[in-house]
Structure 1
Amino acid sequence: MATWRKRELGGLLLLLLLGVCSPVCVEVSSGTEAVQGQNMTLLCISCMQREEVYAVTNVEWYYEPGNGNRSLIFEYIEGKAREHVHSPFKGRLQWNGSKDLQDVSLILHNVTLADSGRFICNVNRTLHFEQHQHSTSSNVEIFLTVSTIKKEDFTSVLSEIMMYILLAFLTLWLLIEVVYCYRKISKAEEVTQESVTDYLAIPSENKESCPVPVEEQ
């Protein structure tokens, strides 16, 4: 009975460890604002609900400008990532997907003002079970806006203001400490000078029996 309980506890502990150590996929939305001349990550995360099942994943990226003419710009098919021959971003797209293909993002290099528009990430998966196969699909849409100057976000501005306030406070505190230490040293020097002056004023025949007072530090 004790051996069975030990095995049960050991199995339960192993399951808990596997649950803690297994990778976690979190679906995060992509940024939608880019700056002309910089690189932009088009984030597309599509989590698998059952990671223990073997799956074949194919990805298609589409671009739709303001006129509504959608075109295929990139694809990941049968384990190979390639840019479409008629892509308007020719030579500027880079595959940035993860090994488990839950993150199937792209990097758009050297963004231009003409790159503003709608990007569609289409993920198709075929799950292979023992008795059957099951296909799933998901779409992520990114409405990209390109500007010539990076817009300051309120949080970053507030953080910068707080940093300057803290810096000013530390500078003031340091100045107060320097003044305090200077006054303390000056006062100690005055006391020492007075003691020496008093000692010199004592007749020479009495100096041997009159030690110079030393201020305790």
Structure 2
Amino acid sequence: MRRLLEENSGLRVVLLLCLLAPSLVSSITVSTPAELHASRGDAVALSCTFVSTSRPTSKMTVDWSYRPQSGGPPQTFFHFSSRAFPPLEGQFAGRIQWQGSPARGDGSISLINATLNDNGTYTCSVRNPPDVHGSPTSHTVLTVTPKTPSIRFSDVAVLLAFILLPSGIITLILIGWMLCPKKQHNQSKVYRSPIEVTEGEEYGVYQPAPKTKRSTCCQLYLMDSEDEAEYYNLKKRPVDEDYAESQC
């Protein structure tokens, strides 16, 4: 009877060890963000952390796989084992950088210049023998959207320069036009022959030139070509010193 009890106790211990053994080697846990959002052209940090009861060794591996949003089987595009092996061809060639640190339980990577074709599910798998069971994988759903246009300060400055500057110049011209009204042009000018003799000139008598008002700078500026010619011809016309008045 005593011998039977001892045998039963031994069986219980063996059964208990068998139950506890898987839990001792299946303690690795991998964690990633459930969702990530990015704009086209951004650099996306694909975070992956893991917890293992065993210290990471040269046998530890990290694999990243990708499944498109449209569906299909996952495809491994990145592998780490003592050193990083980024993809040399395919969709992610030249756009994956290793950011992890196995000693700190980090297996993260970064995706450079995200595109709309990168939408999908990214899976991080970590193996650290003897911890190869438990939850060695974790998934992240990445959503890349078109970048919203943004107005930079330089664009605003150029826009203001092309709109406000011409508007200001036109406003100044209009104000000057209102403050200095243009002299009305006399449409009833009569052409006078250069050999025409007026009354009094045949006897050598010159009529005194009529007193004219001195033109202002504003009137001279707004004077048209015909008025200018008449004005300067009048100033250059010789007059008798005894009868002409000074125009200055």
TM-score category (smaller protein): 0.3 to 0.5
TM-score (norm 1): 0.48
Higher helix fraction: Structure 1 or Structure 2? 1
TM-score (norm 2): 0.42
Higher strand fraction: Structure 1 or Structure 2? 1
